[in-house]
Structure 1
Amino acid sequence: MDHIYELAIVGAGPAGIATAVESYLQGIRDIVLLEKDENHNSTIRKYYKDNKRVDVEWKGQKVELDGNIYFIDGTKETTLDFFDEILSKHSVELQTHVEVTGIEKKDGYFEVHMAGKSIKAKYVVVTIGRMGKPNKPSYKIPPAIRKKVNYTTDECGSGEKILVVGGGDSAVEYAVDLSANNDVAICYRRETFRRANPTNQRDIANAIAHNEVRPILGVNIDGLEATEDGKIKVLFNEIEPEVFDRVIYAIGGTTPSAFLASSGIQEADGKPVHDEHYETNIPGLFVAGDITQESGGSIALGLNHGYAIACRINNLC
């Protein structure tokens, strides 16, 4: 507790790693990167299917990279390798399996609280991604079926009747991939998958046309019930209920508002308030990555956030 890091970064995704590396390149050496999961980029590891394309331009966002990290189009695997490589080339301390519970401003430094311990840092950057807190349905999930209601495909096997809920890229990709070994339906409250990128729109249209995925579109879900044999009865609003072996919700993530509020970071319109350098209302405390965007953001944007923050901290040092 006597040691004061120059910079502590909460979250080891693209924005967090970029902040660390860009700060290192600007001469800041005492940096710690704090990650609650077992490795960096947990969102990519958990929510991206194997060999999924990872593009610089995301959902049509054209972003010119500002900093020193040269990121190019690739796949899930090459992207993870890329971040492995740039982390290994720079002296950044990565601590995993540590969940930050709050940040407290002290006289001349911050105290970053974790379960069972705290660290001190002169500057702190919060880069917690929205998918660290996936959106859940508003209705309650009966305890008897909770293990069969998931937010990723990790628990899926084969030969199951599965309902995927959502209309974005993750939902579409889950449905198409799972249809190879399962009976899959996809439920979305709208009539089209316009939120998905063009490649995924084509893939889901092809899967539906070949009866590989059954669409349940323009339909809302009122709730779930457990059947006597442990299956999931889905209560639709507009159509009759149907029983499934498993339900997967892919309905996005949400801003960690409780964490931000406990750390004194102000919010407006569901996003943390910050200036052009991504500095919050608390001097020396920054935010970066997709929590600064209304509906997530690209890796390229996160890299630019890291560069802007590094420049700001370097000017303050």
Structure 2
Amino acid sequence: MAQADPLFLGIDGGGTGCRAALWRGGPIGQGAAGPANLTSDFEAGLANIGKAIARAAQAAGLPEETVQTAIGHAGLAGVQSEAMAHRVAAALPGRCRVTEDRDIAIAGALGPEEDGAVLAIGTGSFVGLRRAGTIRAVGGWGLQLSDQASGAWLGRAALAATLEAIDGMRDRTALCDALLDRVGGTPQDIVGFAASANPATYGTLAPMVLGAAEAGDALACALFEQGAQWLDRALGALGHAAHEPICLTGGLGPRYRAALDRPGRRFLAPRGTPLDGALILARRTDGQA
């Protein structure tokens, strides 16, 4: 492989973890590290991004000074302003563009050019639509105000519903009992859990909600239906047309397919991951994608 080939760096940072990949004529190394939601914890997120890049360089057998020549794109959860993006870019090696994670999720799911809707549902969530190269998106404003249907949202909503069940305001289900046991056994333990929880922490409860829904638990099924209704509203708000494909991505995205299926709707399997999308956008910066 010619060493004159440009070196590209892609970074995907989210509430559960972050990944980095290096490309020189093809993929040459990947690395992963912990959460990188910059709104939740800026300094820890930036440190984890650095670890992921270092591990990708190690996997590729590249010294640190070579990575400094990379052309990169980083899509990061929690980047809410140009000022924050510039601050992160200054801390990254090479010439790296920093955006929120929507662009890389759409590029990875649909490839460089295809139109369609992307419902990205992991620890957080957003719904985006690309049409003729223009991207519009809704949601993704963070768990405190948004991220409906996501793993973090499911975990927090299930705990809130459990407290209502304890208060006699709704039926108590097996999921309520399981969550209560998980956090310590008392309503006060739920409050204590929530006092220090972040999106990733709430997201650890999502598999319990998922398992309960598969078993027919009424609360879990109701939460998934509520999430699906929001996703449908999001598609409507973006003006999604029936002929435009829908791509469900993230750890939870495919779980909503049955609830979102309608006559005439066309679902498209993701072409790649958000990390693939980051590399697509990095290479496009250099005119190679």
Task: Identify whether the pair has TM-score above 0.5, normalized to the shorter chain.
Answer: no
Kindly name which structure, 1 or 2, has the bigger radius of gyration based on alpha carbons.
1
* TM-score, normalised with respect to structure 2: 0.30
Answer 1 or 2: which has greater helix percent: 2
* TM-score, normalised with respect to structure 1: 0.28
